[in-house]
Amino acid sequence: MDLFDGNLGQLVGIPLLIFAARLGDVTLGTVRIILVSRGMRLLAPAVGFFEVLVWLFALSTVMQHLDRPLNFVAWAAGFAIGTYVGILVEDKLALGLLSVRVITEDDASALLERLRQARFGVTDFAARGLQGRVRFLLTVIARRDLDRVLDIVRDAHPGAFVSVSDVRSASEGTIARRSRYSLRRALSVLRK
């Protein structure tokens, strides 16, 4: 007897199977899209391979059970929650580089020293803002280091203007040796 032959299997088991498969393929798809946008040319296709395998399983299961509206709801719910879970997984992986820009009206020498002591490469500019002279600091960091950099900035200059954006690629400088990612590293982060 098949696990999904009975009424309970049809009412609960198949929708749960569809939901789980869709959750899996959309989670992988979300991670893949983020990897593509960050230029991770080897990791993105590998994730895409598994995404399509799970998607084919989910689709074939739905196509065999088009007789129940709950299966369509399970498909849609798996998609929605899979998108959210994919974002959480990508946040946990913290892959890629970020550009952090700090603008402060105060003397930034203590902040510069603290960032450099924490082994972050930082470039300092004298600039002019709306209210007059400011210091403009620029650093490119591994995404996993963002909280640490922001803690240092907030501690040294609580009122500083900070903006953060993704960096598609960087070469040379301090970050180049610290930003290499491999499939092995990505999988080890997921196990934590």
pLDDT digits (tens, 9 = 90+) for 166-176: 887 666 666 63
Give me the percent of the chain exceeding a pLDDT of 70: 81
| Low-confidence winner among 4-13, 16-25, 113-122, 145-154 (lowest mean pLDDT) | 4-13
Which CATH number belongs to the domain containing residue 127 in this structure?
Answer: 3.30.70.120
Residue 189 within a domain? no
Q: Indicate the residue among 36, 63, 93 that finishes a domain.
A: 93
User: Of residues 21 and 175, which shows the higher confidence score?
Assistant: 21
Whether residues 74 and 150 share a domain: the answer is no
pLDDT reading at 182 higher than 90: no
Euclidean distance between CA atoms 87 and 31, whole angstroms: 7
pLDDT of residue 187: 52
Residue 187 within a domain? no
Note the helical H segments in the chain.
Answer: 7-8, 14-37, 43-64, 69-93, 109-117, 146-156, 175-178, 183-191
Residue 2 within a domain? no
Q: Indicate the residue among 60, 93, 126 that finishes a domain.
A: 93
Cβ–Cβ < 8 Å for 15, 74: yes
pLDDT reading at 106 higher than 80: no
Number of domains in the chain: 2
pLDDT of residue 130: 86
pLDDT of residue 153: 94
Whether residues 170 and 105 share a domain: the answer is yes
Whether residues 85 and 139 share a domain: the answer is no
Coil, helix or strand for 104? strand
Whether residues 177 and 101 share a domain: the answer is yes
Q: Indicate the residue among 59, 75, 93 that finishes a domain.
A: 93
Whether residues 139 and 169 share a domain: the answer is yes
Whether residues 16 and 75 share a domain: the answer is yes
Among residues 82, 84, 58, 80, the alpha carbon closest in space to that of 71 is found at 58
The model's confidence at residue 115, banded by pLDDT at 50, 70 and 90, is very high
pLDDT of residue 179: 40
Residue 138 within a domain? yes
Whether residues 118 and 46 share a domain: the answer is no
DSSP state of 177: H
> Residues 6 or more apart from 3 whose CB is under 8 A from it?
9, 13
pLDDT of residue 94: 76
Mean pLDDT of the chain: 82
Q: Is 107 exposed, middle or buried (0-12, 13-18, 19+ CB in 10 A)?
A: exposed
Domain that holds residue 150: 97-182
For the segment 49-88, what is each residue's pLDDT rounded down to a tens digit?
999 998 898 888 878 877 888 888 998 999 999 999 988 8
Euclidean distance between CA atoms 16 and 162, whole angstroms: 44
Residue 1 within a domain? no
